[in-house]
Amino acid sequence: AEKKRRRKASKMEKTFVMIKPDGVQRRLMPEIIRRFEEKRFTLKGMKMMSVERDLAEKHYEELSGEHVFGRLVDYIVSSGPVVAMIWEGENVVETVREMIGHTRPSDCEYATIRGEFGIDKIRNVIHGSYSLEIANKEIALWFPEGPLVWDKKINNHWHKFD
């Protein structure tokens, strides 16, 4: 029983998070990373990058029929770099979405990232995967270089949290 409980407790998942160009420009990167670190999620990969049109279109594929698609892709491609990240933890996909808040910042609880910092529907600071299935797709899309070096076993006894 002990073994079974342990296996259940260690059910880890990963999600994809992107600090959007407005979040980078407004220097919200440390604030955002601090929140996820303090929630004890583990940063598994991170890169600052400018986004090619092709990548932006693939990322927002689901919205390709919507009127906002062109504006959204233009915004991501031409407003400056983004920070792409992989975060790992228990129930991380759903929890990160809750910490981010509603798409429209004016509809957010105050204590969410968008509630506190979001300006409008396009400039809403941050993206987080909607579901585990989408998270896996987005991680593959944004980190095509494959398994991250961080996934290799490392000697980390000196910064164990518990």
* Residue closer to ligand IDP, measured from CB, 22 or 44: 22
- Least Å distance, CB 150 to ligand IDP, is 26
Reply yes or no on whether 127 is catalytic: yes
Contact (Cβ atoms closer than 8 angstroms) between residue 99 and residue 35: yes
- Least Å distance, CB 56 to ligand IDP, is 11
Closest among 156, 159, 162, 92 to 129, alpha carbons compared = 92
Instruction: Please tell me the distance from the alpha carbon of residue 24 to that of residue 59, in angstroms, as a whole number.
Output: 19
* Residue closer to ligand IDP, measured from CB, 62 or 151: 62
- Least Å distance, CB 144 to ligand IDP, is 21
Pairing of strands 13-19, 126-128: antiparallel
Contact (Cβ atoms closer than 8 angstroms) between residue 123 and residue 22: yes
By beta carbon distance, the residue nearest ligand IDP is 103
* Residue closer to ligand IDP, measured from CB, 89 or 105: 105
Closest among 92, 95, 116 to 106, alpha carbons compared = 116
Tokens coding 133: 């299935």
Q: Which of 59, 67, 102, 127 is catalytic?
A: 127
**Given the rule CB under 6 A, which residues bind ligand IDP?**
63, 68, 72, 103, 121-122, 124, 127, 130
Residues recognised as catalytic: 127
